[in-house]
A and B are shown apart, each in its own frame.
With several copies, the nearest count.
Chain A
């Protein structure tokens, strides 16, 4: 099993969620994060005319654990639904998972996800 962590634009979140659900991946979690990318955020003009860097922008992190075999499909689904082609589109990371347990039933492994 793998854990897929995708950092996406909040305004694309609905689209990604819908796409995942259509592709059969219903279970997931969303975490609100703030993220900094290579372009170091944006420059903002404050009330008093001062300009400063806002480096941390709001992002949504989607987390879901999937079977090894499904990993690539999930990654592609997310990319398709979230890409706008402009800076700040985000990243997807894949982490190995050694075990999964469904609390309700105690099922483990692939059966649990």
Chain B
């Protein structure tokens, strides 16, 4: 019987915690980019996924995604409510940690993926419909694609089923297709179907708190170490490489994006530093089990450049992808998946090699992975959203949008700063030299009596 390794279990638990933190990190990244009257709603759309999708995933989603394979396409209901998923023994996906540790690690991926999409329809989505959309999307899009790529017998990945069926072997170490392309394409569909925000292209819709954007990006970066290096489901050389390339790619993309903003727009952008880092993290995600440190520089540089250009061109096509999910996750994820087919090296993969090593087979497998995910996500997301739009409506009313989603959807206001308030330094004297005496302590009630 395989034995639980305390080092591996510690690492995967820690990684799960790190990935959990990415969802609030994303909430801040998106919340900071939103306007102040929509910040809570924007945060909530990510943050609440921690509640809803956790329940969806542990009850049904995990079983559909990772349960016994059917035709390489989907799992089944064998493991619903985590029945037969051991809390103490390893499962089929990781030999040295309890099966449920793997489940909870995967749950965090299932949570953040729909959260990523929310950037596309920020500042105008009706909260009730949004919840239904996300539950359906998780079951109908996320779980199937995760199955294709990561399950035993999934047709896209390379893990062998019991009966010997093996997928085509598209590499996606930590979710370039499953998470980022998938969310990016869903975001594209959503941005179109939700339509433009009131005043889009006419009024300024700038980030209301860029410090919050940076904090969000920092938490994402921090958590991404768990996302990628945790995907090794053990704490050894594979995890270590994923860790190293993750950091390097993020750093490179950050530098490239800032440099481009400097050249193109005239000043080095702080939002660009944050967005660039995220773009690099996205792109390295599928590649983190396939490229080495210098490959990571290439992946990161490509991500910084391609995503920057994609975002800058958004207005040209008139798309109100409010927080640039398509440009960052769609483009970055696709580049990462393809780059894996270019820069993969056998020293890391233990086998598969990329175009640069003269092997084109993997490259074409990657293209199939990208294409299949895009197509499936496009069609099913469109179907779900269209039905919801025609029935219960996906968007808030115009005056609710103008008033702000925080007030109209949640009945709350993010910030309530005191008007005024006593000066709160430690005064040592009055400026004219006289000793300082604070106002006497007559209280308003006394004063009135």
Residues on A close to B: CB < 8 A? 9-15, 18-19, 30, 32, 34, 39-55, 57-60, 80-81, 84-88
Q: Mark B414-443, 1 if CB is under 8 A from A, else 0.
A: 000011111101111111101011011010
**15 A-B contact pairs sorted by A residue (CB < 8 Å):** A10-B421, A11-B422, A34-B419, A40-B430, A42-B425, A43-B436, A44-B426, A44-B428, A45-B425, A46-B206, A49-B316, A50-B201, A54-B423, A60-B420, A84-B442
**Of B14-22, B84-92, B221-229, B307-315, the one touching chain A:** B307-315
Contact of B448 with A10 in the complex, beta carbons under 8 Å? no
Q: Mark B301-334, 1 if CB is under 8 A from A, else 0.
A: 0000000000111111000010010010000000
Q: How many B residues touch A, CB cutoff 8 Å?
A: 47
Contact of B442 with A58 in the complex, beta carbons under 8 Å? no
CB-CB nearest 6 A-B residue pairs: A10-B420, A15-B444, A50-B315, A48-B314, A44-B425, A42-B427
| CB contact between A30 and one of B315, B419, B430, B447 (< 8 Å): that residue | B419
For B312, give the chain A residue with the smallest CB separation.
Answer: A49
Given contacts A45-B426, A84-B439, contact A52 B201 (CB under 8 A): yes
Interface residue B391 (Cβ < 8 Å from any Cβ of A): no
Given contacts A14-B203, A40-B431, A85-B440, contact A48 B312 (CB under 8 A): yes
Which residues of A have CB within 8 Å of B442?
84
Q: Could you tell me the distance between the alpha carbons of A49 and B315 in the complex, rounded to whole angstroms?
A: 6
For A42, give the chain B residue with the smallest CB separation.
Answer: B427
Q: Could you tell me the distance between the alpha carbons of A60 and B428 in the complex, rounded to whole angstroms?
A: 24
Contact of A48 with B324 in the complex, beta carbons under 8 Å? yes
Q: Could you tell me the distance between the alpha carbons of A7 and B271 in the complex, rounded to whole angstroms?
A: 31
Interface residue B132 (Cβ < 8 Å from any Cβ of A): no
| CB contact between B439 and one of A9, A15, A18, A48 (< 8 Å): that residue | A9
Which residues of A have CB within 8 Å of B423?
42, 54, 57-58
B300 CB, nearest partner CB in chain A, Å = 20
Given contacts A49-B313, A52-B201, A52-B204, contact A18 B425 (CB under 8 A): no
> Which residues of B36-55 have CB atoms within 8 Å of chain A's CB atoms?
none
Contact of A55 with B431 in the complex, beta carbons under 8 Å? yes
Interface residue B403 (Cβ < 8 Å from any Cβ of A): yes
Contact of B431 with A39 in the complex, beta carbons under 8 Å? yes
Contact of B428 with A52 in the complex, beta carbons under 8 Å? no
Q: Could you tell me the distance between the alpha carbons of A52 and B200 in the complex, rounded to whole angstroms?
A: 9
Which residues of B have CB within 8 Å of A58?
420-423
Interface residue B402 (Cβ < 8 Å from any Cβ of A): yes
Q: Could you tell me the distance between the alpha carbons of A47 and B313 in the complex, rounded to whole angstroms?
A: 10
Contact of A53 with B324 in the complex, beta carbons under 8 Å? no
Q: Could you tell me the distance between the alpha carbons of A54 and B204 in the complex, rounded to whole angstroms?
A: 6
Contact of A14 with B430 in the complex, beta carbons under 8 Å? no
Interface residue B205 (Cβ < 8 Å from any Cβ of A): yes
Given A32-B420, A88-B439, 13 additional A-B pairs, CB 8 A: A9-B439, A18-B444, A32-B419, A46-B315, A47-B275, A50-B315, A51-B428, A57-B423, A58-B422, A58-B423, A60-B420, A80-B447, A87-B430
Interface core residue of A40, A42, A51, A88 (most chain B CB under 10 Å)? A42
